[in-house]
Amino acid sequence: MPLFRKIGAVTLTAAVAVSSLASVVSADEAYSGYNYDWWNDPVPSQNGYVVDRVVTGVDMGAGAFNELNDIFVDQETGKIYLVDTNNQRIVITDEKMETSSVMDTFTYSDEFTEEQSVIKKTTLNSPKGIFVTHYKDKTLIYIADSMNERVIGCYEDGSIFHEYTKPSSDLYESDISFRPTKVVVDNALNVYAVIPSITNGIVQFSQTGNFNGYYGANRVETTAEVLQNAFYSLFMNREQMRARQRAVAIEIANCDIDDEGFIYTVTSSKSANKDILKKLNPAGENIYLNMGFDNMQFGDVPMYYNGSNFASQIDDVDVDENGNVFLLDFTKKRIFQYSDELDLEFIFGGDGNQKGLFTSPTAIENLNKKVYVTDGRKNTITVFKLTEFGGMVQNAIEMFNRGLYQEAKEPFEEILLRDANYWFAYVGLGNAYYTSGDHENAMKYFYMNSKGGYNRAFKEYRMDMIRQYFNVFMIVVLIIIAVAIVISSIRKHNKKKKLKAANAANGR
Amino acid sequence: MRFDLDMPAWKWPFYVARHPFEGFEDVRWKKAYNSKVALVIVLCLFIVTVAARLMTGFVFQTNFEKVFNIVPLFSSSVLIFFIWVVGNWSLCTLFNGEGKMQQIMCVTAYALVPYIISQVVYIFASNILTRQEGAILTFISYIGIVWSVVLVISAMKAVHQYSMPKTLLAILFTLVAMVIIVLVLILLISLFQQVVMFVYSIYTELMYRFSM
C-alpha cells in the first residue's frame, strides 16, 4: 500500500509540475515586460498586460477596415466607436465586438438645416477622430471630418445638430487649412479640435460654434535657433526679422479628457524636450508644471543608433477612471502606463506582426481595466487585459495614491516577491514604514529609489537619533572641551618654562 | 610673525593657508619646498575625489554611477594636477618665471589644502544634513574652492616673482597650455595605438607566412 501511495504522490507532483510548466508557456507573450531602474536602464519585469484578443472588422460583421484611425469607448454605455478613415465611415460596436452598426451618411435636421451648413455634404471625407458625450439623455457624437474641413456634431441616428468649420476670426490666419484630426468635448459642450497645421494650441469652439480662441499652446523649445533669433533681434530691424524663419512651438498631436474635465495633450515629436504630455486645467495651464514635472521625458529613454534618433514619439493619450495615463509610442509601437503621479507602471506592446504587436498603432482607449489599441495598417483592434501581477500593482498604487500607505504595504510586499526589480514597490514600502514611524527601514527602502522620500525619512531618523543620544553627545562634547582646555594650559605652562630657561641661558 | 618660521615641513601647507598673501613669499625665502609633503597632498586630493564619489550622502549624490570607475576620478585629480604643473612650468620658463618644476609642484599642492579640507567637511556634512540645509554644503564647497584659487594665484605670484596682472595672465595661458597638452596626449595615444596595430599586423602576417 505505501508503495502505491508513493507512486501516487510522485505522479501528482509530476502532474503539478507539468501543468505549472504549461501555464508558463501559455502566458508567454510576443513582448516581454520591462521597467526602468534608478539609472534609467531597462530591467526585465513581469508583464502587466497580456493580449486578450485581436478583433478585425470581419469579426464584428462590418467588413474589413481600411485604415483605422481612432477609437472611442463610451464609458457609460460600453459602446465602442471606430473611425474607419478610408472607408469613410464610423463603425459602432459593443464590448463583445461581435455585432456592429455602420454610420456613413448623415442628415441635416430642423435644428441645423442645410442652409445653415457651410460644407453642405452628407458623407464623410477621411474622418480622423471621434468623441462621444451625453447631454440630457441624448448621445452626442462629434466626428473630425478631416478632408471636409469640419467637425460635425450629430445624434445617434445620424442627424447633424451642428457643424464646426474654419473660423472667420482675425485670430485664425485665413491661409491655414482647417483639417481637424482629433476632437474632444468638455462638460459644457465646448468643442476642442486638434489641427496639425496649427502651432498655437487646440482650436476651441463654444457649443454654438463660435471660435473661442486657442487652448493650451505648447511652449517654444529653447533651441539654438531661438537664441540666434534673440541675438539678431538686437540689431536687425523689423522687416529683416520678419524675413527670418520664426521659431514656433511644436503642434499638439492628440488629446483626451478625463472625468474631472482636465484635458491631456501630447506632442508627437522625437526632439521635443518639454510639453510632451500636458494636463491642462480650464484656463489652459499645464498642471504637471506645478507638480514639478517640467521637462519630464515620457516613453522609452532616447536612444541613438547609427545616427538615427529612436526617441519615443507619443501619438495618443488616454486616461482611465483612476487617473492612470496611457501613452502610445509610435516609434517603438509600445504602450506606457503611468500612474496619476506619473510613475511608470507598465510597458507593453511592440513592433511586429504577432498578436500584441503593432505595425502602425493609431489610437488607444480603455474600458473596465482593458486596453483597446487600434492599428491603422493591420486594421485590427487589439484588446489587452490586466495580468494578476498587473492587477496587484494597480491596486497597490491606487491605495498608495489615496494615501493608504499602511494598507498598501502587504500588496507591495507581494509585488516584490514576484518582481524584485519593480522599483515603485520600494517607494510604496518606504512610505508605509515612514508613516508607521520606522524611519530606519523607510530609509532602507527609499535608498536608490526616491531621493525625496529618503530625505524626509532621514530628517526624522536624525531627529530620533538626536533625541535618543543627546545626553551622551553632550557629555562627549563637554569632555572634549575640558580636555582641550587642560592641554592648552599645559602647553602654555611648558612654553613659559622654555622661555624662562631661554632667558636664563641668555642672561648667563 | 617671521620669528617662528622654523617649523617642520608638514606645517607649511597649513601656514600658507592661514597667510594667503605673504605665506608663499615665506616659503620662497625659507626654501620650504618639500616634494614628499606635496605628493602626500596630491594623494589626499585623489582620496578625497574618490571619497566624494563613494561617500557623499545619498541626498546630495548627483552622479551615482552604477559601475564605479576610478580612471576618470584619477585623471580629474592627479593627472590634471601634473598637467597643470607641466603646463605652468613650460609656459613660465619662457616668460621669465623664476620657479622650477619642483617648486611649482610644491606650492600648487600646498595651495590645494583648503579645497581638500572643505571636501572632507563636505563629505561628512552631506551625511548629516538634509536637502533643506543644502545651502550650507554649497557654502562649504565654495569657500574651499575660492580659498584654494586665491592661494594658487598667490603661489604663482610668489614662486615666479611676477606682478599681479602678469600672474593672472600666466594662469590664463597655463589653462590654454593644459588644453594643448591634453590634445597632444590624446593624439599621441591614438598614434601609438596605430603603430602598435601596424607592428602587430606585420607580426601576424609573418607568422602566417612561416607557419605555411
* Residue to test with chain A: of B3, B58, B62, B132, most A Cβ within 10 A: B58
Chain B residues with CB-CB distance to A459 below 8 A? 130, 132
User: What is the signed CA dihedral for B73, B75, B80, B81, rounded to 10 degrees?
Assistant: 70
Whole-number Cα distances in Å, A320 to A25, A48, A341, A394, B186: 31, 16, 13, 12, 55
CA distance A336 to A364: 11
**Sheet holding A211-215: strands in order across?**
A182-185, A191-194, A202-205, A211-215
**How much is the pLDDT for A8?**
54
* DSSP 3-state of A309: strand
DSSP A105: B
Question: Length of chain B in residues, anyone?
Answer: 212
Q: What mean pLDDT, rounded, does chain B reach?
A: 92
Q: Write down the residue that cell numbers 454654438 correspond to.
A: A208
Give the residues across from A160 on adjacent strands.
Answer: A108, A154
DSSP A252: P
pLDDT beyond 80 at B212 = no
Asked whether A399 and A411 are in contact (CB, 8 A), the reply is yes
**How much is the pLDDT for A24?**
46
* Average pLDDT estimate for B106-129: 95
* DSSP 3-state of A469: helix
CA distance A341 to A291: 9
Give the burial class of A491: count Cβ atoms within 10 A of its Cβ; 0-12 exposed, 13-18 middle, 19 or more buried: exposed
Range of the domain at B83: 2-179
Enumerate residues 6+ apart whose C-beta is below 8 A from B42.
Answer: B77, B78, B81, B109, B112
User: pLDDT class for A199, splitting at 50, 70, 90?
Assistant: confident
Chain A residues with CB-CB distance to B65 below 8 A? 39
Asked whether A190 and A206 are in contact (CB, 8 A), the reply is yes
Chain B's closest residue to A453, CA to CA, is B59
Chain B residues with CB-CB distance to A448 below 8 A? 58, 64
* Residue to test with chain B: of A458, A460, A463, A464, most B Cβ within 10 A: A458
- Residue-wise pLDDT for A423-464, tens only, equals 889 999 999 999 999 999 999 999 988 888 999 999 999 999
Asked whether B181 and B87 are in contact (CB, 8 A), the reply is yes
**How much is the pLDDT for B76?**
92
User: pLDDT class for A284, splitting at 50, 70, 90?
Assistant: confident
Distance of CA B140 to the CA centre of its chain: 19
CA distance A463 to A465: 5
* Residue to test with chain A: of B130, B132, B133, most A Cβ within 10 A: B130
CA distance A447 to A461: 14
Kindly calculate the radius of gyration of chain B based on its CA atoms and give it in whole angstroms.
22
Q: Which three cell numbers stand for residue A438?
A: 520606522
pLDDT beyond 60 at A296 = yes
Nearest Cα to B102, choosing from B87, B115, B83, B89? Answer: B89
Whole-number Cα distances in Å, B73 to A322, B45, B174: 47, 10, 22
Q: Based on the structure, what is the number of domains in chain B?
A: 1
- Identify which of B59, B66, B128 has the shortest CB distance to residue A454: B59
Q: Which of A291-295, A459-463, A500-504 has the highest mean pLDDT?
A: A459-463
| Pair type for strands A211-215 and A80-84 | unpaired
**How much is the pLDDT for A508?**
56
**How much is the pLDDT for A22?**
44
| Pair type for strands A107-108 and A159-165 | parallel
Nearest Cα to A93, choosing from A127, A55, A124? Answer: A55
**How much is the pLDDT for B1?**
47
Chain B residues with CB-CB distance to A454 below 8 A? 58-59
- Residue-wise pLDDT for B121-151, tens only, equals 999 999 999 989 999 999 999 999 999 999 9
- Residue-wise pLDDT for A100-123, tens only, equals 899 888 888 888 888 888 888 888
* DSSP 3-state of A344: strand
* Average pLDDT estimate for A197-225: 86
Q: Which three cell numbers stand for residue B141?
A: 564647497
- Residue-wise pLDDT for A241-262, tens only, equals 777 777 788 889 999 999 888 9
Chain A's closest residue to B65, CA to CA, is A39
CA distance B18 to A298: 52
- The distance of A41 to chain B (nearest Cα, Å) reads 10
Taking an 8 Å cut-off on Cβ atoms, the answer to whether A455 and B128 are in contact is no
* Average pLDDT estimate for A368-394: 92
- Identify which of B59, B66, B128 has the shortest CB distance to residue A451: B59
Q: Which three cell numbers stand for residue B32?
A: 620650504
Number of H helices, E strands in chain A: 9, 28
- Residue-wise pLDDT for A297-332, tens only, equals 888 888 778 778 788 899 999 999 888 999 999 988
Distance of CA A211 to the CA centre of its chain: 30
- Residue-wise pLDDT for B1-15, tens only, equals 455 778 888 899 999
pLDDT beyond 90 at B47 = yes
Q: Which three cell numbers stand for residue A394?
A: 494597480
Taking an 8 Å cut-off on Cβ atoms, the answer to whether B59 and A448 are in contact is no
CA distance B184 to A66: 62
Neighbours of A246 (CB within 10 A): 11
User: What is the signed CA dihedral for A477, A481, A482, A483, rounded to 10 degrees?
Assistant: 100
- CATH class of the A388-503 domain in this structure: mainly alpha
- Residue B201, in any domain of the structure: no
Q: Write down the residue that cell numbers 457649443 correspond to.
A: A207
CA distance A468 to A144: 67
Nearest Cα to B126, choosing from B136, B117, B116, B113? Answer: B136
Nearest Cα to B87, choosing from B180, B187, B165? Answer: B180
2.120.10.30, 1.10.10.10, 3.40.50.720, 3.30.420.40: CATH of A34-387: 2.120.10.30
* DSSP 3-state of A176: coil
Question: Which regions of chain A carry the CATH code 2.120.10.30?
Answer: 34-387
Neighbours of A337 (CB within 10 A): 23
Task: Write the ipTM.
Answer: 0.79
Neighbours of A43 (CB within 10 A): 15
Q: What mean pLDDT, rounded, does chain A reach?
A: 87
Phi-psi region of A124 (alpha: psi -120 to 50; beta: other; left: phi over 0): beta
Asked whether A160 and A151 are in contact (CB, 8 A), the reply is no
- Residue B67, in any domain of the structure: yes
Chain B's closest residue to A444, CA to CA, is B58
DSSP B78: I
Amino acid found at B151: L
Q: Which three cell numbers stand for residue B206?
A: 609573418
- Residue B202, in any domain of the structure: no
- Residue B61, in any domain of the structure: yes
pLDDT beyond 50 at B154 = yes
Taking an 8 Å cut-off on Cβ atoms, the answer to whether B130 and A447 are in contact is no
- The distance of A255 to chain B (nearest Cα, Å) reads 35
Taking an 8 Å cut-off on Cβ atoms, the answer to whether A462 and B128 are in contact is yes
- Residue-wise pLDDT for A13-28, tens only, equals 555 554 444 444 445 7
More confident residue, A503 or B41: B41
pLDDT beyond 70 at B209 = yes
Q: Which of A170-179, A239-248, A281-290, B43-52 has the highest mean pLDDT?
A: B43-52
CA distance B60 to B135: 11
pLDDT beyond 50 at A499 = yes
- Identify which of A41, A454, A459 has the shortest CB distance to residue B58: A454
**Sheet holding A89-93: strands in order across?**
A68-73, A80-84, A89-93, A100-103
Chain B residues with CB-CB distance to A458 below 8 A? 59, 130
User: What b/e readout covers B73-95, taking b as 16+ CB neighbours within 10 angstroms?
Assistant: beeebbbebebbbbbbbebbeee
Count Cα neighbours of A305 within 13 Å in the Cβ-side half-sphere: 5
CA distance B87 to A97: 77
Taking an 8 Å cut-off on Cβ atoms, the answer to whether B64 and A451 are in contact is no
Chain B residues with CB-CB distance to A462 below 8 A? 128, 130
Chain B's closest residue to A463, CA to CA, is B128
Amino acid found at A156: E
